[in-house]
Structure 1
Amino acid sequence: MSKLESTKCHILIIEKLQQVKQATFAEIAGCLAKESELDGYYDFKVSKRTFQRDVEDIATIYGIYIKFNFSGMYYFIEEEFEPEVSDRMFEAFDVYHALNVKEQMSQFIYLEQRCPQGTEHLYSLLHAIKNRNRIQFEYNQYYKDHSENRTIEPLALKEFKYRWYLFARDTHDDHIKCYALDWLANLQILNVHFENTDTDLAREVQALFRHYSAQHRTAE
């Protein structure tokens, strides 16, 4: 299989198990064979050995773990995330699969025009939050004609109205602040660790975001 063909096959396997929750190898192989016929170009048919390799690749590439139940002789996705996280992840796979069709579909799909969301920073920020690393970046606010250098201690991320926000403690004044990810540039993870002493971060984030939203309502 080509890389694109393998990726499409991975998505089909994930979607099958997402929809039915559990399936035997015969059921998964039958689904892939049917998709091959419908596609008419790519061949998704797999042997059991190839399927096992796909299961390993899916775990490595996507962090989705497909397990085998020996008593029931079926495969299932091991849920390691909160339900809302799993739902969003699978939603992303659905959109990716729908948009990566072979035929030219631009005349049938009308996408919303969006500004950059800063999602390219998500992985680095999650790494810094998990490992409690300080980060440094340039912050370009829409109402200022220059950027500012910030060094902060990242604490949490929040999505709101298709935009992502970072909540972090500013090392300059020790206050927790909200930063829009699409205003970040030149993000660097520093080899400086910090301790998070906030005992009720979720409530603090919600309160701070309400205040932030009120201040920036015209920008939203």
Structure 2
Amino acid sequence: LVPLAEPLINKMYDGFLKSKKMGREEAYQFITQCTKKAADAMKAQLKRKPNSIAKDVVDTSELELHCCSANPNYGHLWFQCRVSPIDSAREVIAEAKDVMASDIINYSYIYVAAMVRRAGIMMIIHHPEIVDSNGVENPYNDFDRFVNQQLRLAPTLDVILSEKEVSGSMFVTGLTDSNKRWNTYSLAEKRRILFGSDSLVN
């Protein structure tokens, strides 16, 4: 998804550098507009050429070979992709590759919008000559901690995209749709997702 976000970020950056001195709220509005445009562009691409988003997917054949005789427990996502208790690790990885690709494609506009938003906040941080800091300075020795603080102060992605059905909890663990529908699952389905498809558990 990074190659898809890169031209959108570059376009935002070019527009930002051409801007005159602005206040922080004005900068947030600029980032919000660019983030919305990025999400809309990805939605349009999903409708036109959905397969183009999955171009150059990482080859996992070597990983599948190393795992061919393993039987690990990799948690929530692993069990979601384990169809049968007798599935080999290679079969689970192959299934995971398919379902994760589908999941990422379906929600690619959110991932790309998040990258554009973050890049916009980084522009504010790195260009105090354009955006008035309003006395906002880095109180930490840890730059990453300061960046996270600035991200929390900016408009959130669900507010920017105006999508009530989108929340951070959807991306906490496993597949997005599974997290989204968690409260609708039966106890047996929840157990399968959390503990796998072993007969002793089910």
Max radius of gyration: which structure? 1
TM-score relative to the length of structure 1: 0.21
Select the structure that is richer in helix: 2
TM-score relative to the length of structure 2: 0.22
The structure, 1 or 2, with the larger RCO (C-alpha pairs under 8 Å, 6+ apart) is 2
